[in-house]
Homo-oligomer: A and B are copies of this chain.
Amino acid sequence: MTITGELLIDGGARPGTGGAIHAVDPSTGATLDVTFGGATKADLDEACALAAAAFGPYRATSPEQRAVFLETVAAKIEAIGDDLIVRAMAETGLPRARLEGERGRTMGQLKMFAGVLRDGGWLEARIDPAQPDRKPLPRPDLRLRNVPLGPVAVFGASNFPLAFSVAGGDTASALAAGCPVVVKAHPAHPGTSELVGRAVQEAVKACGLPSGVFALLHDAGIEISQGLVADARIKAAGFTGSRRAGLALTAVAQGRPEPIPFYAEMSSINPVLLLPNALKARGAAIAPDFVAALTQGAGQFCTNPGLILGIDGPELDAFLAATAEVIAKAPAGQMLTPGICKAYTGGVKALAETSGVTEVAHGLEGGHGQGRATLFSVDAATFLATPHLQDEVFGAASLVVRAQDLAQLTQVLAALEGQLTIAVHMEEADTDLARALLPTLELKAGRVLVNGFGTGVEVGHAMVHGGPFPSTSDSRSTSVGSLAIFRFLRPVSYQNLPAALLPVELQDANPLGIARRVDGKVVLA
């Protein structure tokens, strides 16, 4: 498959004339081959018009047809072969094994949503049968199902060029829901985006779907991104990126004449709580696992452990000493883009210069565009008095907060902003304390985990990759896992419809064989 640098619209490719975009090899700073053309407003308009036109026929497809389509997308991505991995390596600096794993994850997500479609739970099918003899008034026949919102805008993320990009979780869940998708590619990996976009286009064609079901746009600035969210035909959007960009686009979504749901996953420092008995029993043993989680992928995960909380004392000192020893030998990690590298360096410098913050250790110096791990520490009083210490520093930096006692630790927990994850390290003897803290933790985070780190987000049915603001713009939702399909659905109630008009999932005979709620009770097929 050849990369041409074109926009993918209407089942074909065309050069974008709205400015040039070049990918850069972050490990050398060298510009990669192929010039990508940014979309013009006319391109954007056409992509949205086609998506709107495709919405009717696309949502009319059966869940089985869409399941096959998603499986076809997965197969077409696999069929790109090694070209995809090679280009993604060049554009992101991520290693082969990671990208191969991420490709598997991307295909796995698509297949999971195929399963979700066949299961039918996403329809939230409900039937309250008529009660013609009810007094004082008869009860009408009422049936409910979810319908898709309409065309969806998806913004590719820098740090997952496959799993959170062109055919990533947002695209998979939106397509599953019955929504056409217009993707704005992340400018750091336009070639990877094009390859995957072409695979999706091929799947659209192979499945005989309208061409407007999918489009891929590049944006040389921010106008197309903002225009995409502002377009009246777009009915929801998914975004993974910085807090600043996320909030700016959220404001566009809310400022429209018709506001739309905007799902931004933005920033999280993923606190790690070291409970006293765990620190005592195995503080030194936690250290290498922590450093591995911190430095994996150069720390460029939304779930990177950026904050460690513990009660001050010799056990915490021992943990810090052990951690410092491991970090000192940690090789620097290749960062995704020169801009991210620069921001990381700046963030680390700002931390180092913050009054009361001490550097505990740093990793080995790296080469071009690499970031070295850095661990800081601060006492809890300073942390509580310095709100910006909660700002995410994207990369392998982490801050240890030393609390005087449990009361102060609890105070720090209460002061935390919303998070994607909070991890608790504990021994059995910490159970009562953990139980007492759990209500606070679950109100601060979308996922609470024990004796591990938040990196490694399982794709499944019980996963929440989301959380209270500012970790996301909408805590009622997740961007990973099967619950994500509900982002792009809304319920509709049907009253006294003749059988001939009923959607298939609500017909008495239940031809789809799905679980439904009848008179409020779950009834299996």
Contact = CB atoms under 8 A, between A and B. Distances in A.
Interface of A: 56, 59-60, 101, 115-116, 119, 121, 124, 126-128, 136-137, 139-140, 142-144, 147, 149-150, 250, 254, 258-259, 261, 418, 428, 431, 434-435, 438-439, 442-443, 445-452, 456, 458, 460-464, 466, 468-470, 473-476, 478, 482-483, 486, 489-498, 500-501, 515, 517, 519-522, 524
Contacts of A496: 449-452
B520 A492 contact: no
Contacts of A143: 462
Given A501-B431, A517-B121, A443 B147 contact: yes
B128 A461 contact: yes
Contacts of A150: 443
Contact of A476 (B261, B466, B494): B261
30 contacts: A56-B439, A119-B520, A126-B461, A127-B462, A128-B463, A140-B458, A142-B462, A143-B462, A250-B259, A258-B470, A261-B474, A428-B498, A431-B501, A438-B501, A446-B492, A447-B494, A447-B495, A448-B492, A450-B495, A450-B501, A461-B517, A461-B519, A462-B493, A462-B517, A464-B492, A466-B490, A476-B486, A476-B491, A478-B491, A478-B493
A382 to B, nearest CB: 22
Contact of A492 (B144, B447, B460): B447
Given A462-B517, A478-B491, 16 more contacts: A115-B520, A119-B520, A128-B460, A139-B458, A140-B452, A144-B483, A147-B443, A258-B470, A428-B498, A434-B501, A435-B501, A442-B492, A447-B494, A450-B497, A451-B496, A466-B490
A221 B185 CA distance: 48
A500 B442 contact: no
Given A259-B473, A450-B501, A500-B431, A493 B144 contact: no
A521 B144 contact: no
A121 B475 contact: no
A176 to B, nearest CB: 14
A263 to B, nearest CB: 11
Contacts of A127: 462
Contacts of A474: 261
A121 B451 CA distance: 30
Contacts of A462: 126-128, 142-144, 493, 517
A385 B129 CA distance: 41
B463 A144 contact: yes
Contacts of A438: 501
- How many copies of this chain sit in the oligomeric assembly? 2
Contacts of A473: 259
- Report which residue of A121, A418, A476 has the largest number of chain B beta carbons within 10 angstroms of its beta carbon: A476
A428 B497 CA distance: 11
Contacts of A517: 121, 461-462
Given A452-B140, A461-B128, A462-B142, A431 B498 contact: yes
B469 A258 contact: yes
Nearest to A251: B254
A173 to B, nearest CB: 14
Contact of A520 (B458, B466, B482): B482
Contacts of A475: 149, 490
A75 to B, nearest CB: 21
A470 B258 CA distance: 7
Nearest to A491: B464
- Report which residue of A428, A489, A490, A498 has the largest number of chain B beta carbons within 10 angstroms of its beta carbon: A490
Nearest to A523: B524
A448 B497 contact: yes
A259 B469 contact: yes
B500 A435 contact: yes
Contacts of A490: 446, 466, 468, 475-476
A121 B458 contact: no
Contacts of A418: 258
A459 to B, nearest CB: 10
The 10 closest A-B pairs by CB, nearest first: A449-B495, A464-B493, A142-B462, A144-B462, A126-B462, A447-B493, A128-B462, A461-B520, A128-B460, A475-B490
Nearest to A487: B476
A48 to B, nearest CB: 16
A491 B483 contact: yes
Contact of A458 (B101, B142, B261, B460): B142
